[in-house]
Every structure is written in structure tokens, then in C-alpha cells.
Amino acid sequence: MAVEYHCCGAAFFEHVVIIVVLVLFAGLMSGLTLGLMSLSLVDLEVLAKSGTDQDRKHAAKILPVVKNQHLLLCTLLICNAAAMEALPIFLDSLVTAWGAILISVTLILLFGEILPQSICSRYGLAIGASVAPLVRVLVWVCFPVAYPISKLLDHLLGKGHTALFRRAELKTLVTLHGNEAGKGGELTHDETTIIAGALELTEKKAKDAMTPLCQTFAIDINAKLDRDLMQKVLDKGHSRVPVYYEKKTNIIGLILVMLSSFSKQSYDSCKLYLVFCLDETFFLVFSYLASTC
């Protein structure tokens, strides 16, 4: 097609403005496709409930928009395709056919794909929240075409794409968020250990948390509570110390170390909290552990 509008008439500038708008619109749709679709519903719900104040506001605006992911995807792709297809039509009126092809490919590749997706991949939450009203309007405009396609995708691929972590994955995720992992996490070693231990509870048995009786620190009921013994109890760091009579397998009670009081200056006067074991199950457990040594 021959060039219809030459520089620098009013129609020429009108076409230039339209071309710029189409490129920006196509870039916005391309960026939103990557930025919004990369945010799962689980991620948004987490941000909406426990993120920073700014993230909570952004997530609250985006959640209603991305709830129907296939409808949103179809809307963004239809708008992006429409803008890119219309671009050569207006360029063809200003330059030759070869010029229109070269300019449209360059504009679409640079300003319609690379830059928008680079920006939205980093600031997708903030940009998505800013243009959420526009996206709502576009969803209604494209609804007659986008809705049937989205329902077909729901039927073929399934409606929900919620990605939840398994226990092993959550444990690894918590470990990576620890400050010892060197990735900028804020969790301390103790926090990661406690969380990881809680996640392993369903897989562990009671015997996994027990210590064989031959390896436990216990005190004879007739032992003299002198300075050395009291210091040894404190050095062990246990909250409870078994007390036995005559032989180690004959457990008759426990010393509650945390409730006991010791004088660092003098161990002659000390107060012990001794709990006697009357439950038969208690003896059975320790008898089983003793047989494993």
C-alpha cells in the first residue's frame, strides 16, 4: 500500500499518537500477562493476610481480578493480539510495507515484550494493583469472546491451579529462609529447627524421640546430694532427671530440675522436686528401652 499521510500534517500526527498508544497498550497487556499470571492465588492470599501494609492493599485489589485465571488470561491475550495486529495497519499509512514490517516488529519486540515483561516480572504486584480497574473493564469488554474460551480451558485443564506445598517441601522452604542458608532469610537456627521438627511430627514415632535407658543420665535414690552431684545435674541441662532404686531399670521417680532450687555458693541446702511414678506404663516404656541397649 502506498504512503497516504506525509509529514507533517494533522492526520500524520494522529496516526503517530495511535501507534504509540497501541504499542504501550500491547506492552501493558504483555507485562500483565506475565506479572498477574505468575502470582498464584495462594501467594496473593498470604500477602493479603500477612504481608506488609502496602502488599496487603495491592493483594486485596488483585485477588478479585485473578480469581478466574483463565478468563483473565484470555482477556489479556485477546487485547494484546488486537493491539499488535492493528499496529501494522496504521504504520502502513505512514511508511512503505517493508518499513511497516520492520518498525512494527522492532516496536513490538522491544516496547511490547522485552521491557514490559522485565518490569512487570519485578513489580507485578504494584503494577497489577494500579491497573486493576482497567483490567476489570477489559474483562467485561472481551467477555463475549473470552468467557467461552475460558470455560473450555476450565474443562480441559481444570479450574483450579492452586499450588500447595507438601510437608517435605515446606521443610525445605523453611530451611532456605533461615539465616544460615545465606539467602537473606530472617529465621534463626532455633526457629528453623522448631518449625522443621513440627512438620516431621506426623512421620515420627514415640520411640524416635526417646533415648535408650543405658544412655540416659539417672540418679540413685540413695545418692548423696553433694556439691559434685548437684553440679553434674546442672551441667547435663536436662529438665527432668530419672531417679532409680538399686538398679537403673527400676525407675521410681523424676527430679524436676527447673522447679528445684540450688545455691551456687553452697550445695548443702537445696530443694528438690521429686515426682514418684505410679503409672505402670512408665515402667513398661523404660523396660523396652533397656532391652534395646
The more confident residue out of 225 and 90 is 90
Q: What CATH number is given to the structural domain containing 251?
A: 3.10.580.10
Residues 15 and 51 in one domain: yes
* pLDDT higher than 80, residue 289: no
Residue 191: the pLDDT is 86
Residues 189 and 99 in one domain: no
Listed range (23-27, 152-156, 237-241, 259-263) with the worst mean pLDDT: 259-263
Instruction: Work out the pLDDT band at 150, boundaries 50, 70, 90.
Output: very high
Q: Does any domain span residue 3?
A: no
Residues 129 and 234 in one domain: no
Residues 153 and 177 in one domain: no
Residue 293: the pLDDT is 41
Instruction: Work out the pLDDT band at 2, boundaries 50, 70, 90.
Output: very low
Residues 71 and 32 in one domain: yes
Q: Does any domain span residue 162?
A: no
Give percent of the chain above pLDDT 70. Answer: 83
CA distances in angstroms from 51 to 44, 64, 130, 169, listed in the order given: 9, 17, 18, 21
Residue 261: the pLDDT is 55
* pLDDT higher than 80, residue 26: yes
Residues 199 and 214 in one domain: no
pTM: 0.63
Residue 262: the pLDDT is 54
Residues 274 and 241 in one domain: yes
Residue 130: the pLDDT is 92
pLDDT in tens, 192-210: 888 888 888 777 777 777 7
The more confident residue out of 132 and 101 is 132
In a 10 Å sphere around its CB, with 0-12 CB exposed, 13-18 middle and 19+ buried, how is residue 77 labelled?
middle
* pLDDT higher than 70, residue 260: no
Residues 143 and 232 in one domain: no
In a 10 Å sphere around its CB, with 0-12 CB exposed, 13-18 middle and 19+ buried, how is residue 47 labelled?
buried
* Number of domains observed in the structure of the chain: 3
* pLDDT higher than 90, residue 132: yes
Residues 198 and 214 in one domain: no
Residue 29: the pLDDT is 93
Q: Does any domain span residue 4?
A: no
pLDDT in tens, 33-83: 998 888 888 888 888 888 888 989 999 999 989 888 899 999 999 999 999
Chain-centroid distance, C-alpha 156: 28
* pLDDT higher than 50, residue 292: no
Residues 182 and 99 in one domain: no
Average pLDDT, the chain: 79
Roughly how many angstroms between the first and final C-alpha of the chain, as a whole number?
93
Residue 98: the pLDDT is 80
Cα 219 to Cα 47: distance, rounded to the nearest angstrom: 53
Quote the domain boundaries for residue 150: 10-157
Residues 199 and 252 in one domain: no
Residues 225 and 268 in one domain: yes
* pLDDT higher than 90, residue 135: yes
